[in-house]
Structure 1
Amino acid sequence: MTLNNGTLNKGSATQSDRKLDQDEATPLRVAVLVINMADTMPTELSNEPILVIELDRFTTNLEMALDLVAAGEVVSIQAPHSSLVLMPALVAAQRKLHPHAYLAGVQYAKTAEAASSLALKQAKRDLSAVNCQRSIVIGNEQVSHLEVDRNQLAFDGLCQLITDIAQRTITRDDNSRHYWFTARYQARVATLNLQFNPEDNAIPHASIVLTQGTGRLKARSLLKAQRLFFLISGTSEAELNQGLWALAAKLDSIKMMTDDSKISLSLLALMQQNLHEFEISTSPRFALTLQASSIESLMQEIASMSDALSQVFKEKGQYKTPAGSFFTAAPLGQQHLAFVYPGVGTVYHDMLSELHHYFPALYARLEQQGDLKAMLQADAIYHSDKQITEQMALGDMAIAGVGASYLLSKLLMDEFDVKPQYALGYSMGEASMWASLDVWQQPHLLIDKTKSDPLFTSVISGDLSAVRSAWGLTDSDVIHWNSFLVRCTPESIRPMLKQYPRVYLAITQGDTCVIAGCEHSCQELLKALGKRGIAANRVTAMHTMPALSQHDNVVAFYEQNIVPEAVSHPVTFISASDTGKGIDRGVGDEQGQLNPKLIATSIADTFCNSLDFTALIQSATRQGARLFVEIGADRQNCTLIDKILKSSDSEKLIDNLLSPSANHTSQYCTVPLNAKGSSDIATLLKAIGQLISHRVPVSLTVLQLGLKRQLALQEQLTTTDAANTLLKGEA
């Protein structure tokens, strides 16, 4: 039923009426959903009569809808590309419908501040509870000549805010978007302030208060017509080539289509069929991944891969393209898979900001388990000012680093069912390792401890009380502490340390080292070496001699209860505390099982001594790790591991472990799960493709479900009659 706006005005409350009643205004409990043109009306409303209001004057339409909802009706305000469905919250609850949001207050006033205050008062909310405030000027010159544009602008603004709430997405002033974090157990609350042309409206400001509903938008598909992903399997080079050109022939037939929507639909269907066929195949020896952004570029990837196969098989090597296509002729398998956890300092501004669109259920689970906002230090990481991120304190960076690793671990393990055989960490990455792999019972408890414990705030960072004690300084003495990355061997540095007692060799990592200590002394040592160092400008005494005095405190800090099943954990945890001593074993191997004291001592040994990352990687390789997946922000560890394993000493090491004729180029592989400056999803898909080619068991369910949703959406968009029916909102 479509209502004529004029026939209802007689019995509806006007803006002036609402203003007169605003002091006694009761909170609105209106459930709202945004239905886009390609979406179907929820099945819960299939038998519900829906009154349709065609959008022509936004405020009048909204007031009319609210009056009808107050009378118990379900109403849809229709616009060309979407509709806004409103109903009593009780009706939504009775129908077991999950609304995108609740409309809790609508008020008008002569100023924006007054309208917002009145709306919040009606919604029984304080301004401090508002997570997002959005304003739209409706009466600007750009649209004032078209009434429909002004009404559409207001309608679209409201629908977008409701969508953002349902998608748990916040938009900053610079239009960048990230996850909408809130304090634990706190709902999202938003206000939309509209400013109309005062010449047309006696009361030119309106404020709308929205609160979070129980509904969430469905996950976006990782794959689409502009993000293609195909898998080809076989037992030989010939079979792989046959699969490549069979796919090329199918693409040629799709290219012959003239309708873009049919091309898109056909590509999605072909990807779905390809994933299904790969899934039911009998685990062939070889698999390659093709990735591209269009049919044309995919054809180029096919040609490049086909040309490369012969040489890759000859060398038992690997081949990858910038687009993400990948093949290895020497699959390493799950038995060589190691998760590598980066240390402090890898987190960056807006990291992982895309992921929640594609894994909303994962984010919802993490929010239930702990304070996700605190875990990722969201106020600093997603601040509009990048310098806030860059100037984070050591403890805050440590928390955010562990949080990023925890999130990515759960993503890879829960969503793709990837299970590591080994785990190791760079420096404080060892703490991330224990927190992320279901060992500690309550890893979230360390968040507040890290922010408040003197160990991180003043002992080995900040005021550096441990350093003051070691150097015999008073509280009033000034310490100019810094660390420098220098391309140099540790053998060149160690003999010089006696001349510079306030300089320490903190980290050895491939062809570079990190020295730390008195900034002036470090610069003097570098000058004597004839080397230039890159200053980190970070205050931390980890991995230096003064930290040794804190060993017992570090043990106490990290001695956490572990889950009962973790005593015999299937993963081999490799610690620098052992490998730095030349011992090739996992933590707990000697004792036969893990325990809280053993884990905490292992972390403390790494924390308080010089870190030899080179020895850690070489030991991990000797123990069987070959396929290193970096689980954390950015890909710095992958770069280091590549350098370490490409060194001549490491090649000799692998020579002793493998047959003399084996080609070294693919006897190890590093796989970043995230990379600063790159798309979160593109990097993730590249990682998944490499793991599949290395014949690591990977669940394809997430990819398949996304394609299923994309296909349904595309089919609706290409069905004109269905789209028109949906546009009218008919039940």
Structure 2
Amino acid sequence: ALAITGRNKKELLKQIDAARKGVNTAFEKGTDWLTPLGSYFTAKPLGKTADVAYVYPAAVNSYIGIGRTVFRLFPKVFEDLKSNNLYNRAADVEKLVYPRSFPKLATRQLETLEKELLDDSLGMFESEIAFARYMTAIFRDDFQVKPKCVFGYSLGETSMMVAQGVWSDFEGGSNTLNSSPLFGDKLSGAKNAVRQYWGLTNTAELQEDNFWATYVLMAKPSQVEECLKNEPRVYLTQINTPEEVLIAGEKTACQRVIKTLGCNSFPAPFDHVIHCEAMRSEYEEITKVNSLPTQELPDITFYSAAEYQPIKLDRDVIAKSIATGLCQQLDFPQLVNRVYDDGVKIFVEAGAGGVCSRWISKILENKEHITVSLNRRGMDDHTSMVKALAKLVSHRVNLDLSPLYNLSTVTTKQNKLTLRTITLGGKSIAGAILSEENRKYFQNIASNLNSYRVEKLHQNIPFASELDNINPPTQPAEDPTKNIMEHGFELPEELQSSESTVLAQKTQQPIVSSPATNHQLDNTIRMSELNKTQYQKLSDNNYQITQNHAAFLQARKDFSKQMSEIIQLQLVCAENLLNEES
């Protein structure tokens, strides 16, 4: 099958022209034809004869902005995260992965934020697990790319269990992991598990910068193992391919090994302790945090690196398998070859980046297979998915492409509701605005609005004859100006009109109550029964409330005046517009 991709008609036509030659070349040479835009053709499709496996990379590949547009492309994935208890965990780390900023972040700022994310082991772990979950949901459930088996690299086995839905309550497990000392000071940070294993009682015995390091080496495992015989504090932790490995341990000792081998190397993007005997003291804790409620998925086979074979989906079996795999050396080629021998030739990497795809291609470079990466850094999510689907289509893998084209019923209804018919032409906008009726209305609006506000103020402010006889407060009342400023109002320059008179009466004259008012109050509260101190506090509070309310009314009056001036300015602008047209 031939898959043609493009962003517009022009690109599609160019891809079709290129395919006329590319397809012939693919048949002649027996190689696959592909283009930078994602068009793909293979003369030897594997979908009808080979099985599909989902691969989950180690949870150390997350990055700033990963999966930024996935929720927009597939909105129902958001509900999937909530239903699988992942939303709260993803929300906790989303500000690390998607930092907010009004101005565009500079390169140096992005590098700093990236460093913060890399230093947060749990943040990296949980963000990648969430990403693996919704990418799995999209391809397995929406596009119907059904896996025959699944396996993970290192911590990818944890991602595998969450993404495939084996663990239904990952939020509870994540809470346990966050409260566990594993990634606090045991395997990260101070790495006390290693200090204990090496017998380091004094933390100053090895300085922080020289204590632990992890390096990627371009060398054969046998060569590295020979060098490590003289370095007891360096470990061969992971074998990625027959020519790429990871070593970890005391930094200066690792550098001696690299110098002895004379091979290319670079620091790994993480520095936590994993896949070595120095962390075996944490086996029970790792088992504990991975012991979660489990459900069966009978149509999918799950592989583990604990013994490089399928495992039973049992709570205890899963927990012990993950713990065993993390506490021993990881031989990824052995795991890949085992899965390949069981009939898998199509490997879909459902996680961040494409590092596992690269390793698998190297491991199986002389064998018939394909790798499909669902995410690549620097490529938008839509393009990554379309390229992956094109490759699967050409290999005749059973899938459903309708999610790329079909709009949901809800979206269709919403679009219909927003459709409106607009007739061009008609009367002048300026003429409609500046009609005689509108002119008269806006000329009087300022005075009418002020009159209305003043009348309301008179109605809201009580007269002196309507209040009880209240003693002046024993302590100075709060400054109304300060109160206004604390509540966000602008400081008035001076009080005017009747409000000023009322306030003066309240501050300078004793307030006399009417007999009717005293009679009504006496029917509800017997003043003789009140404690004198409480009554004085009540009086103080009433006095402060009265002052604050009066100050608020003054501020509201000033605001009304400003609105009146704004309306008048709008009227002047409209008149100027009409004059310019005439």
Q: TM-score, normalised by structure 2?
A: 0.66
CA contact (8 A) 1:342 1:428 kept: yes
Q: 1:707 to 1:444 in 2, by over 3 A?
A: closer
Q: Deviations over 1:89-116 (max 9, x none)?
A: xxxxxxxxxxxxxxxxxxxxxxxxxxxx
| Whole-angstrom CA distance in 2 between matches of 1:597 and 1:713 | 48
> Is 1:536 the counterpart of 2:268 in the alignment?
yes
CA contact (8 A) 1:716 1:723 kept: no
Q: 1:369 to 1:597 in 2, by over 3 A?
A: closer
CA contact (8 A) 1:483 1:514 kept: yes
Query: Which residue number corresponds to residue 586 of structure 1?
Result: 310
> Is 1:307 the counterpart of 2:21 in the alignment?
yes
Q: Which of 546, 557, 560 in structure 1 is aligned with 2:278?
A: 546
Query: Which residue number corresponds to residue 292 of structure 1?
Result: 6
Q: 3-state SS of the aligned residue for 1:291?
A: coil
| Whole-angstrom CA distance in 2 between matches of 1:310 and 1:319 | 9
Query: Which residue number corresponds to residue 398 of structure 1?
Result: 125
Deviation at 1:317, TM superposition (A): 3.6
| Whole-angstrom CA distance in 1 between matches of 2:352 and 2:423 | 45
Higher mean displacement: 694-703 or 313-322:
313-322
Q: Which amino acid aligns with 2:262?
A: G
Query: Which residue number corresponds to residue 230 of structure 2?
Result: 499
Q: Which of 414, 421, 435 in structure 2 is aligned with 1:722?
A: 421
Q: 3-state SS of the aligned residue for 1:705?
A: coil
> Is 1:612 the counterpart of 2:341 in the alignment?
no
Pairing of 1:258-657 with structure 2 (within 5 A): 287-333=1-47, 335-375=50-90, 377-384=93-100, 386=110, 387-392=112-117, 393-474=120-201, 476-477=203-204, 478=206, 479=208, 480-510=211-241, 511-536=243-268, 538-563=270-295, 565-566=296-297, 569-579=298-308, 585-588=309-312, 594-646=313-365, 651=366, 654=367
CA contact (8 A) 2:155 2:326 kept: yes
Q: 1:671 to 1:709 in 2, by over 3 A?
A: farther
Instruction: State the percentage of identical aligned residues.
Output: 28
Q: Deviations over 1:48-94 (max 9, x none)?
A: xxxxxxxxxxxxxxxxxxxxxxxxxxxxxxxxxxxxxxxxxxxxxxx
| Whole-angstrom CA distance in 2 between matches of 1:391 and 1:320 | 37
| Whole-angstrom CA distance in 2 between matches of 1:668 and 1:492 | 29
| Whole-angstrom CA distance in 2 between matches of 1:554 and 1:405 | 21
Query: Which residue number corresponds to residue 513 of structure 2?
Result: none
| Whole-angstrom CA distance in 2 between matches of 1:678 and 1:631 | 15
| Whole-angstrom CA distance in 1 between matches of 2:69 and 2:234 | 41
Q: Deviations over 1:293-331 (max 9, x none)?
A: 232321221122221223323454422111011122222
| Whole-angstrom CA distance in 2 between matches of 1:712 and 1:554 | 50
CA contact (8 A) 2:273 2:279 kept: yes
Deviation at 1:716, TM superposition (A): 12
CA contact (8 A) 2:173 2:292 kept: no
| Whole-angstrom CA distance in 2 between matches of 1:518 and 1:382 | 34
Query: Which residue number corresponds to residue 390 of structure 2?
Result: 689
Q: Deviations over 1:110-162 (max 9, x none)?
A: xxxxxxxxxxxxxxxxxxxxxxxxxxxxxxxxxxxxxxxxxxxxxxxxxxxxx
| Whole-angstrom CA distance in 2 between matches of 1:522 and 1:461 | 18
CA contact (8 A) 1:340 1:423 kept: yes
| Whole-angstrom CA distance in 2 between matches of 1:389 and 1:447 | 23
Name stretches of at least 5 consecutive residues in structure 2 with no aligned partner: 101-108, 425-582
| Whole-angstrom CA distance in 2 between matches of 1:428 and 1:715 | 47
CA contact (8 A) 1:290 1:325 kept: yes
CA contact (8 A) 1:348 1:390 kept: no
CA contact (8 A) 1:716 1:722 kept: no
CA contact (8 A) 2:84 2:168 kept: no
Q: 1:378 to 1:716 in 2, by over 3 A?
A: closer
Q: Deviations over 1:531-551 (max 9, x none)?
A: 242012632110111122222
Q: 3-state SS of the aligned residue for 1:322?
A: coil
Q: 3-state SS of the aligned residue for 2:174?
A: helix
Q: 3-state SS of the aligned residue for 2:15?
A: helix
Query: Which residue number corresponds to residue 577 of structure 2?
Result: none
Query: Which residue number corresponds to residue 496 of structure 2?
Result: none
Deviation at 1:368, TM superposition (A): 4.3
| Whole-angstrom CA distance in 1 between matches of 2:86 and 2:339 | 33
- The total of aligned residue pairs comes to 407
CA contact (8 A) 2:349 2:357 kept: yes
Query: Which residue number corresponds to residue 676 of structure 1?
Result: 377
Deviation at 1:475, TM superposition (A): 5.1
Deviation at 1:418, TM superposition (A): 1.9
Query: Which residue number corresponds to residue 704 of structure 1?
Result: 405
Q: 1:328 to 1:715 in 2, by over 3 A?
A: farther
CA contact (8 A) 1:503 1:515 kept: yes
Q: 3-state SS of the aligned residue for 1:495?
A: helix
Deviation at 1:713, TM superposition (A): 11
Deviation at 1:483, TM superposition (A): 0.4
| Whole-angstrom CA distance in 1 between matches of 2:88 and 2:411 | 30
Give the structure with higher Rg (CA).
2
Higher mean displacement: 687-696 or 308-317:
308-317
Q: Deviations over 1:404-444 (max 9, x none)?
A: 11111112122212211111111100111111112123122
Deviation at 1:708, TM superposition (A): 9.7
| Whole-angstrom CA distance in 2 between matches of 1:358 and 1:496 | 50
CA contact (8 A) 1:375 1:444 kept: no
Q: 1:315 to 1:381 in 2, by over 3 A?
A: same
* Root mean square deviation, CA, Å: 2.7
Deviation at 1:558, TM superposition (A): 0.9
Query: Which residue number corresponds to residue 161 of structure 1?
Result: none
| Whole-angstrom CA distance in 2 between matches of 1:382 and 1:476 | 36
Name stretches of at least 5 consecutive residues in structure 1 with no aligned partner: 1-286, 580-584, 589-593, 655-666, 726-731
Runs of 4+ aligned residues of structure 1 deviating over 6 Å after TM superposition are 707-717
| Whole-angstrom CA distance in 1 between matches of 2:133 and 2:416 | 37
Deviation at 1:714, TM superposition (A): 11
Q: 1:476 to 1:710 in 2, by over 3 A?
A: closer
CA contact (8 A) 2:60 2:269 kept: no
Query: Which residue number corresponds to residue 148 of structure 1?
Result: none
Q: 1:302 to 1:457 in 2, by over 3 A?
A: same
Pairing of 1:31-110 with structure 2 (within 5 A): none
| Whole-angstrom CA distance in 1 between matches of 2:321 and 2:404 | 39
| Whole-angstrom CA distance in 2 between matches of 1:315 and 1:713 | 51
CA contact (8 A) 1:481 1:519 kept: yes
Query: Which residue number corresponds to residue 85 of structure 1?
Result: none
Q: Deviations over 1:161-206 (max 9, x none)?
A: xxxxxxxxxxxxxxxxxxxxxxxxxxxxxxxxxxxxxxxxxxxxxx
Q: 3-state SS of the aligned residue for 2:4?
A: strand
| Whole-angstrom CA distance in 1 between matches of 2:167 and 2:414 | 42
Q: TM-score, normalised by structure 1?
A: 0.53
| Whole-angstrom CA distance in 1 between matches of 2:139 and 2:21 | 32
